[in-house]
Amino acid sequence: MPMITKITTQKKNKERYNIFTDEGKGEQYAFSVDEAVLIKYGLKKGMELDDFFLTEIHYEDDIRKAYNLALHYLTRRIRSEAEVRTYLFEKEIDAPIIQEVIFKLYEYQFLNDEQYAIAYVRTQMNTTDKGIVLIRRELKERGISDVLIDQALAEYPYDAQVETARKLCEKIVGNNRKDSDKALKQKVEQRLVRKGFSFDIISQAIEETKLERNDDQVKALAYQAEKLQRKYANDTGYEYKQKMKSALYRKGFTLDQIEKYLSQIDE
């Protein structure tokens, strides 16, 4: 049965200790342990180590190493339980060890999916232009339960969602002044859907945003028509007008607007 002959502090990590033993063939390095494991099992010079005791020590030390890995991971930012599990799994930590680490993290309040979800929703609400549909999906991807997601999303009130969507509408309108009202509305709706806003939020946001722009609409039609004129420069007469009408109509302008513009060009 091996006996501990010497315990030394590691040079690069003062919280880990090298254990040396002798089984009758002279002293040799046996294994290393975390300081907490050393203290827990009272390891000291002259102590004999049977196989069962060694197995228990190694298991506890594996837990401690994985726990320290998890703590380091959590220092960067708050994480969900699922994120920590995935991180440890990718570090090739065994499932029983991961479970013990998760238990310890909850015990010492380093993990709390409820607080994580609330913090995540508040951050997205205050720093991004995302809607709750997208935020819900992101929380789901991070392993948060539906119950906790529903509770957390209550932090993002309806009026705040409308305000965020309205500001995004105004931004889209400002960046697409050369589109027709119809094309602009489609862009707004598509963008807001991708951002994760519900249809009732989108509808109200659009209603509160001036999408109909009389002066800008005339300029937009002229801009699009000028581009098409270069495209159809080799066409004349009836064929030219039909191509212009068809192309402008596809871009969202009404037939009345198109006819009026083309008649002014003819004059």
Q: What is the pLDDT of residues 182-211, one digit of tens each?
A: 788 888 999 999 999 999 999 999 888 876
**What pLDDT, on the 0 to 100 scale, is given for residue 222?**
74
If asked whether residues 34 and 97 sit together in one domain, one would say yes
If asked whether residues 84 and 11 sit together in one domain, one would say yes
If asked whether residues 146 and 188 sit together in one domain, one would say no
Instruction: Out of 87, 107, 127, pick the residue that ends a domain.
Output: 107
For residue range 39-53, list pLDDT tens digits in order.
999 999 999 999 999
Q: Specify the higher pLDDT residue, 225 or 99.
A: 99
Which range of residues forms the domain containing residue 140?
113-153
If asked whether residues 138 and 181 sit together in one domain, one would say no
If asked whether residues 163 and 149 sit together in one domain, one would say no
Which amino acid is located at 131 in the chain? Answer: G
Q: Specify the higher pLDDT residue, 186 or 177.
A: 186
If asked whether residues 142 and 75 sit together in one domain, one would say no
For 254, residues 6+ apart whose C-beta sits below 8 A from its C-beta are none
pLDDT bin (cut points 50, 70, 90) of residue 228 is confident
The CB density around residue 115, as the number of other CB atoms within 10 Å, is 13
**CATH no. for residue 186?**
1.10.10.10
Instruction: Out of 107, 139, 167, pick the residue that ends a domain.
Output: 107
**CATH no. for residue 238?**
1.10.10
If asked whether residues 101 and 40 sit together in one domain, one would say yes
* Total domains present in the chain: 4
- Contact 209/170 with Cβ under 8 angstroms? yes
When pLDDT is averaged across residues 214-234 and rounded to a whole number, the result is: 72
If asked whether residues 31 and 86 sit together in one domain, one would say yes
Judged by average pLDDT, the poorest of 96-100, 169-173, 193-197 is: 169-173
If asked whether residues 262 and 229 sit together in one domain, one would say yes
pLDDT bin (cut points 50, 70, 90) of residue 213 is low
Is 60 exceeded by the pLDDT of residue 22?
yes
Is 80 exceeded by the pLDDT of residue 265?
no
Is 70 exceeded by the pLDDT of residue 216?
no
DSSP letter at 42 equals T
Is 80 exceeded by the pLDDT of residue 1?
yes
When pLDDT is averaged across residues 6-33 and rounded to a whole number, the result is: 92
**What pLDDT, on the 0 to 100 scale, is given for residue 45?**
93
- Contact 174/187 with Cβ under 8 angstroms? no
Q: Specify the higher pLDDT residue, 178 or 197.
A: 197
Tell me which residue has tokens 């065994």.
94
If asked whether residues 208 and 219 sit together in one domain, one would say no
